[in-house]
Amino acid sequence: MPNLDRTGPLGQGPMTGRKRGFLPRLKGRGLGGSKECKCPNCGYTEPHTRGIPCTKKICPKCGTPLRGEYC
């Protein structure tokens, strides 16, 4: 690009010229968090601790990794 302010000539074809590589930025559009962690095997539930994924916790009854129950 001839100018250092990223305003070069309009090129021919995709990804050339102005706004090259522009992608809309989506900020935090996830599902949110889970309300509680639940065992898919035996049904044991415990409240979700923020910052610790449910998959890192293990069921104390049967030893299966827990899963998140979404709100």
59 pLDDT more than 90: yes
Instruction: Give 21-46 pLDDT, tens digit per residue.
Output: 555 555 555 556 778 999 999 999 99
Q: What is the mean pLDDT of residues 14-21?
A: 55
Overall size of the chain counted in residues:
71
Instruction: Tell me what pLDDT residue 47 has.
Output: 93
Asked if residue 16 lies in contact with residue 7, where contact means CB atoms within 8 angstroms, the answer is: no
Tokens encoding 34:
């889970």
Asked if residue 69 lies in contact with residue 58, where contact means CB atoms within 8 angstroms, the answer is: no
Asked if residue 48 lies in contact with residue 68, where contact means CB atoms within 8 angstroms, the answer is: yes
Instruction: Tell me what pLDDT residue 15 has.
Output: 58
Q: Where are the domains of the chain?
A: 34-70
Instruction: Tell me what pLDDT residue 24 has.
Output: 56
Q: What is the pTM of this model?
A: 0.52
Q: Starting at the earlier edge strand, list the strands of the sheet with 67-70.
A: 45-47, 34-38, 67-70
